[in-house]
Structures are given as C-alpha cells and as structure tokens.
Amino acid sequence: MDKKSFIEFMMSADVLRLGDFVTKSGRNTPYFVNTGNYRTGRQIDTLGKFYAELIKEECGDGFTAMFGPAYKGIPLVTAAAGALASEYDIDKPYFFNRKEAKDHGEGGNLVGYKPADGDKIIIIEDVITAGTAVRETMPALYSAAKVDVTDMFISVDRCEVGQTAGKTAVMEVMDEFGIKVHSIITVRDVHDYLAAHSEYSDALQRMEQYMRQYCVL
C-alpha cells in the first residue's frame, strides 16, 4: 500500500484538510477527513482501488457481502465493490442503509443485497474517531439477519482514545463487536508525511499537541 500516494491523493481532493475543525465527538482537531469532498468520477475510481487493495490483502474473497453505512459509506462501498471486481475479479454483493425506513414499495431500511443468516459481512467506512457511527450501525445489521460482522475498512485510523481510558475507538470496536478494523493510513502516517515537508511545520506542531492529548500510539 503506497501510503504517501494516498495522503497526497486525499489532500489534492481537499478530503484531508489542515486547520481548525470539530470532530463528531466534539474534539477540536487540527486536521479533518471529509470523504464528502470527493466529487469526480476519477477520484471515486481511485479511492475504490485503494480500498479494494486493502480488502484483497486482508480478506481476499473470504466474505459474503460489503456494507456501507449511510451516508458517506454508500459511495465508498459502491466504489470498493466495483474496484474489487475490475481489479481482482472478486465480484461481491454490496448493500447500504437508509437513515429513515422506507414506508412504501418493499419497505425496510436496507438497499441492495439482502443479508441472510450466517453471512460474513465487512463494513466500508471513512474514519473512526470515537466509534459512535459503528455503534449506530450494528443494530441495523443485526436486526436484518444473524450475520457475522468480521472486518471493517476505513480510510484513516485517527488512533484516538474512545470511551475507555487507554483504548482507542478501534480497540473498543474489537472488544465490543469482535470487528477487526483495517485502515489505509493512520494518524502516524499523516504525521510522518507532514514532518517530511517543512511547509507544514505549523500544522505538524498542532498535530503533535493534539496527538499527545487524544491519541493512543
């Protein structure tokens, strides 16, 4: 996995941003990852290939289907599924949820593949900061069928402490749900990239302060 290329790709798409932001968990952060800023066909194609490479390395074809939580997970799971098929000939079904259940037609809140008992599901998401989105997602999957959610793939592991002192949100997801989280890059990779470019010295200083306060490395 070419982490430097992925960081530069995110920055060129204005997805990895440096500045002053507030995360979903309410923390003031000097960097932010907003996958909602991907907006062209080439960008989503490239992103799908990065995800597909990681999925291929970690799981191969050893899963039943891919799930993308609404809303940002929807284009991510779609792009990853397409890239897995085109790049590695791994043609797997995918599905996603609605925020509000549909009250007409077939109804329900899942779109695409319909999970069945015994399915092995992997989740495609953008980032994990405090694990809030994961805890909101799992009830939707477990209520659909007796599925086994084994792995989760994200763009960036922020390596931040979750609800338990000394444990990152990623560690908590493993403890609570038995889900192994795989990231294309981590905050350490971003830090090392900034450290190698003198023009980011101010951003690097703020990131190091943030990491000392919130990160478990």
Q: Which residues are catalytic?
A: 102, 104
DSSP-derived secondary structure for the chain: --HHHHHHHHHHTT-EEEEEEE-TTS-EEEEEE-GGG--SHHHHHHHHHHHHHHHHHHHTT--SEEEE-TTTHHHHHHHHHHHHHHHH-----EEEEEEEEE-STT-EEEEES---TT-EEEEE-SEESSSHHHHHHHHHHHHHSS-EEEEEEEEEE--BB-SSTT-BHHHHHHHHH-PEEEEEEEHHHHHHHHHT-GGGHHHHHHHHHHHHHHB--
Beta carbons within 10 angstroms of residue 98's beta carbon? 14
Q: Residue 173: which of 125, 115, 130 has the closest Cα? A: 130
